[in-house]
Structure 1
């Protein structure tokens, strides 16, 4: 999986217009959910460096279980090439360790 921890903090907010630095935008009935880097953000972003398929079965579940087993919440955003996991900022190193352990067992 080769997880990569990004140095920026991220925030999830609802906006009418997406800011230019938005990482992801989700259009919901209630408004635009924007994920963007913010100094006071509560989330860390971990990206999988390997190309992941949108049709892969079980990858998200395996990652979610590895993190849940350590009581780490996770929000996963999938792009066409990579998965991005948002975990609580204070638990980012714990999440990296959980994903590294998962990678070792899958190898």
Structure 2
């Protein structure tokens, strides 16, 4: 299952889905700090380990989470080497002044946007998809 590479197909099939959960980004020098918290993602950088986790779990465990956000999953199965999809989505969000942090999974891409901008981001992404579907070949 390699995923889709054609940009037009990808954009017309984005099918964004907004998670109800509020997430934050947190960091620690020790990945074990996140054990039992079920983070969506852990990423090791030279400076420390970054985790994306539920805001409530972070607060309950004394973690200083930043960037309160919501996750938008692009339900299209994009190939890991697809070109242009995330750039196109990022541009649609940039035009609306919405910051975004993206994470690529094997099957889908996930975009974390400020909680206050979640609905506007969904609209911008869906509009991009609709415009692509309706564009002449």
- TM-score bracket relative to the smaller structure: over 0.9
CA–CA distance in 2 between the matches of 1:55 and 1:65? 19
| Higher-RCO chain (CA-CA 8 Å, sequence separation at least 6) | 2
Higher helix share: 2
CA–CA distance in 1 between the matches of 2:41 and 2:77? 18
Instruction: Please list every run of 5 or more consecutive structure 1 residues that lacks an aligned counterpart in the other structure.
Output: none
Q: Which residue of 1 aligns with 2:23?
A: 10
Q: Which residue of 2 aligns with 1:37?
A: 54
Give the superposition deviation at 1:50: 1.4
Instruction: Please list every run of 5 or more consecutive structure 2 residues that lacks an aligned counterpart in the other structure.
Output: 1-13, 60-64
Matched residue of 2:39: which SS? coil
How many residues are treated as equivalent by the alignment? 107
For residues 52-92 of structure 1, give each alpha carbon's deviation from its aligned partner in whole angstroms, at most 9, with x where no partner exists: 11111000100000000000000000011100000000000
Q: TM-score, normalised on structure 1?
A: 0.95
Correspondence list, 1:14-93, <5 A: 14-15=27-28, 16=30, 17=32, 18-20=34-36, 21-39=38-56, 42-93=68-119
Higher strand share: 1
Give the superposition deviation at 1:19: 3.4
Greater C-alpha Rg: 2
Q: TM-score, normalised on structure 2?
A: 0.75
For residues 9-63 of structure 1, give each alpha carbon's deviation from its aligned partner in whole angstroms, at most 9, with x where no partner exists: 0010102223331001111001110001113761110001111111110001000
Structure 1 stretches of 4+ moved >4 Å: none
RMSD of Structure 2 on Structure 1 (CA): 1.2
